[in-house]
Structure formats: structure tokens, C-alpha cells
Amino acid sequence: MNIGFIGLGNMGAPMALNLLKAGHKVHVYDLLEAAVQTLEAAGAQRQASPAQVAGQEIDILITMLPAAVHVKKVYLGEEGVLAAVGKHVLLIDSSTIDPQTAREVAAQAAAQGNAMLDAPVSGGTGGAQAGTLTFMVGGDEAVFEKARPVLQAMGKNIVYCGGAGNGQVAKVANNMLLGISMIGAAEAMNLGVSLGMDPTILAGIINTSSGRCWSTEVYNPYPGVVETAPASKGYAGGFGADLMLKDLGLATEAAKAAKVPVVLGAAAQQLYQTFSTQGNGHLDFSAIIKFFSTK
Ligand code: NAD
């Protein structure tokens, strides 16, 4: 298939690489030249704007952008996707944004005849590289079935969540829990090590006991416990603390709209807010363990 891909960051670049590996022709755009160069070297076609990507002979256009403001600009802006895209092109936004914006952009796309899915992912940069992401997809079910084979080139679990915006609803709930569980994992690891435990032995106990979760097992925040985790690489790459802060903001905003309390979600948001204000927003979100460390 011919695919457009906009947003080649920590997640988008490996996702686009997997599409190339699966034999698709991929047209790419990103604001950062270095990101485009990496994809070009792997066989992608460089384009100069979202509109230029949209104007190619493509079947599907995928975006993987930081936040709602970027999604609005890329789809609705002057040099944006909707201004140039053919009606047959299926639009898929995999960025994590609020359900409301996802529904608004999908409605504008529908108004000009384009089907659109919100398809945020979980699985981190490791999952993006391995092609094992989980896609949570909102939109028309028949359109979802059309998109499934392409999503399968980038992910392992492709889950239909219901109408437009529902993929983002699933994502927001999952990531709120992830933020809370990472803080819990960091607090527990720091406590145990401060009391004299070896971090690897402690993690091993937790991971075969009732405290086990993804944050302790796959992505342990203590350096050296999981070799592949950002904690063992100076908290570089991975999922930025500022992106987690963004997702916790989405959760508390969504909770306000739904009139339900998110007590721990709001506490986690404040913790990441403080951590970010201290200049740590660029670090992987597991670096929140530094908040607890007194050394
Ligand atoms: P990132 O900041 O590494 O990448 C975003 C890319 O978008 C950058 O390369 C940036 O230059 C580009 N971009 C921004 N504005 C643009 C524009 N107007 N036109 C073209 N390109 C533009 O972010 P990421 O880690 O790849 O995350 C992307 C999305 O996926 C976010 O919504 C994030 O919340 C979500 N997500 C991230 C992870 C993770 O582990 N990193 C996991 C799941 C979901």
C-alpha cells in the first residue's frame, strides 16, 4: 500500500520503519530534519509539508504527533492534511490526545468525505520497534476492518473500542493507571533500596509477588534492574515525563467532563507537574524515582 506518515519521533520513526519493512511505500514528513533523514535512508519518500504528504497517491495517512495542538495544526491548518487529501484516503491519528479533539477532527474529516480513526497506542518505544504495540481504535467498525492489516504491521493487539474518540478514552484510562503505578513502583523501589535491599533482588521479589505490574517488571524505574528500560540508559528516550504529565492532564480533564473523581490520577498529575517544573520533563517518565531519592 501507499502510506503517508507524519510525526517521526520516538514512536513514529520505528512505526514508519515497520511499515517499510512490511513492504509498504511510505511518504514521510516531520519538522525535524534528522528524523526525516533516518526514514529516507531506510527507503521512505521525503515530503515538505503535511499537505504534500496528503497530496501523494496514498491509501492511508497516519499521524503520530505530541499533543492535540499539533494534531489540529497538521489536519486543519493551512498547509494541513484536510486541505489536500483525496476523499478515498483513510486517516488514522495515533497520537494520544483528548477524546473531544479526536471527535472534532474526525467530524471535520467526515464533513469533507474522509473516514478517520483515532488509534492511540500503548507498548512504549520498545513495542514500537518490535512491532508489538496495542492499538485502541475508535471510529466506524467497517473502516476499522479496512485499517486492521496496516495496523498489524506495527502492532500485535488491535482492539476496536467503539465510535470516534473511544480509542482515546481507553488510552486515557490506561495511562492514568500507568502514571499512578510508576509512582508506586518508584516509591517502593526507593524505600526497599534505602532500607538495604539489592534493587535486582527486590524487583525479583515484587515481580513474583502481588506488587507486580508493568512498571516493576518491564520498565523498572531503578537503574540496572531491567537492562532494556530507560532507567538503565540514563532515562534517555522512552516516554517523556512531560508526555505523561500531558496524559494525566487529559485524564483529569476527562474526569471533570464525566463528573467522576480521579483522586490518585490528580495526585500523580501534581507530582509530574512538580517534577517537570524542576527541569526534568525531557527525561523518561520512570525518572520520577529521582523525586523520592534523597541521595
Ligand atoms: P516525540 O516528541 O518523540 O515525537 C513527536 C514528533 O512529532 C517529533 O518528531 C516532532 O518533530 C513531530 N512534530 C511535532 N509537530 C509537528 C508538525 N506540526 N508537523 C510534523 N511533525 C511534527 O513523541 P513520541 O514519544 O513519538 O509520542 C508521540 C505520541 O505518542 C504522543 O501523543 C505520545 O503521548 C504518544 N505515545 C508515546 C509513547 C512513548 O513511549 N513515547 C507511548 C505511547 C503513546
How confident is the model over 85-121, as pLDDT tens digits? 999 999 999 999 999 999 999 999 999 999 999 999 9
Q: Is the dihedral of CA 28, 32, 37, 42 positive or negative?
A: negative
- If one residue of 6, 8, 10 were mutated to test the ligand 1 pocket, choosing by the most ligand atoms within 8 A of its CB, it would be 10
Residue span(s) of the chain under CATH 3.40.50.720 come to 2-163
Alpha carbon distance 271, 184 (integer Å): 12
pLDDT in tens, 206-231: 999 999 999 999 999 999 999 999 99
Rounded average pLDDT over 158-164: 98
95 Cβ closer than 6 Å to some ligand 1 atom: yes
What's the CATH superfamily of 2-163?
NAD(P)-binding Rossmann-like Domain (3.40.50.720)
Q: pTM of the full predicted structure? A: 0.89
Nearest CA to ligand 1 atom 5: 9
- Helix, strand or coil, per DSSP, at residue 213: coil
- pLDDT higher than 80, residue 295: no
- Angle among Cα 168, 173, 175 to the nearest 5 degrees reads 90
Catalytic residues: 171
Q: Is the dihedral of CA 168, 32, 48, 19 positive or negative?
A: negative
Nearest in space to 61 (alpha carbons), one of 117, 135, 108, 105: 117
Nearest CA to ligand 1 atom 43: 122
Confidence grade of residue 147 (pLDDT, cut at 50, 70, 90):
very high
pLDDT of residue 256: 92
Residue span(s) of the chain under CATH 1.10.1040.10 come to 169-292
What's the CATH superfamily of 169-292?
N-(1-d-carboxylethyl)-l-norvaline Dehydrogenase; domain 2 (1.10.1040.10)
**Centre of ligand 1 from the C-alpha of residue 129, in Å:** 15
Four-point Cα dihedral 185, 13, 51, 155, nearest 10: -70
**Ligand 1 atom closest to Cα of 247?**
34
* Beta pairing class for 90-93 and 60-63: parallel
**Centre of ligand 1 from the C-alpha of residue 31, in Å:** 11
pLDDT of residue 294: 73
With 0-12 / 13-18 / 19 or more C-beta atoms within 10 angstroms meaning exposed / middle / buried, residue 99 is buried
Share of the chain above pLDDT 70, in %: 100
pLDDT in tens, 227-276: 999 999 999 988 999 999 999 999 999 999 899 999 999 999 999 999 99
